Amino acid sequence: MTKTKLDLLVRATGKKWLWVQATLAFAFLYLPILILIIYSFNTSRFNAVWRGFTLDWYRSLFSNTGATISSSSSGILPALNNSLLIAAISTVLATIFGTMLALALERFHFPGRKAVEVLLFLPIIMPEITIGISLLVFFTLAFRIVENLTGIRLNLGLPTVIIGHVVFNISFVTITVRARLAELDPQLEQAAFDLGANEWRTFWRITFPLIWPAIFSAALLAFTLSLDDFVVTFFTTGVGSMTLPLFVYGMIKFAVTPAINAISTLMLLASLLLVVSSLKIQKS
């Protein structure tokens, strides 16, 4: 066998092994998710036993039959409403502040710019449990100071959860929008200034139409992260602010039924839809 044929054989064998390893890796990652989806249609109340196909678990989610944490809980719909409300408000705030921060970092030079960039990456690098504990300590101290000064007692609730979600979403929005800004030609904005447009008109007529796909993509990403977040929400939530991830966690503590699989499947599909939409818009 010549050296050339031997090299081709080695390369072909290497490619085959690469495909095998990739297949095993993807199977390890996604096969449990596929099993979860399949067993969300299981007739049996026990996940380990397949009894037949049914849609009853999905119906029970929206009728609150069999989709409650305990006999005193109100079911999944209030938790879903809280999650959507928190995600919507935190997305709007994080998108506005993140876009402003991206413009400031990309278009202006000011004292402390490097420090701001370092702080920007901290919510991405830090573990979520660290962010959650930090926010809990901050809110506890802040509420204590307010109570000592005014006598008004504040408690954790939906506002604190929204603030917590804005904290970590701003970084993702800023990075996404800033990447789009870095691709723009600054001479386009300079030309608008030369033609007599001020900063405000230049932004709305030139900059915003060019970066809006990145802004919308960042908003979808922030909405997805907020909707699925558990750790930060767990540390910043209070009475009456149950979210969907916390609801699922509460159900798992009592019993693992196909209703949990159904909730997880719907959350997976919603997250997947938002992420795919974000990627498609970002490429446009």
Classify 68-283 by CATH class: mainly alpha
Per-residue pLDDT at 2: 56
Greatest distance between any 2 Cα atoms in the chain:
89
Tokens found for residue 86: 């928190």
Per-residue pLDDT at 284: 60
CB 9 within 8 A of CB 233: no
Each domain of the chain, given as residue ranges in start order, spans 68-283
Per-residue pLDDT at 73: 47
pLDDT in tens, the chain (284 residues): 555 655 555 565 666 777 777 788 888 888 888 888 888 888 877 766 777 888 887 877 766 555 554 443 456 778 888 888 999 999 999 999 999 999 888 888 788 888 888 888 888 888 889 999 999 999 999 999 998 888 888 888 899 999 999 999 999 999 989 888 888 877 777 787 777 777 788 888 888 888 888 898 889 889 988 988 889 999 998 877 888 888 878 777 766 677 778 877 887 887 788 777 767 766 66
pTM, two decimal places: 0.76
Per-residue pLDDT at 68: 52
User: What crossing angle do the helices spanning 258-283 and 208-228 adopt, rounded to 10°?
Assistant: 170
d(CA 199, CA 197): 7
d(CA 1, CA 43): 60
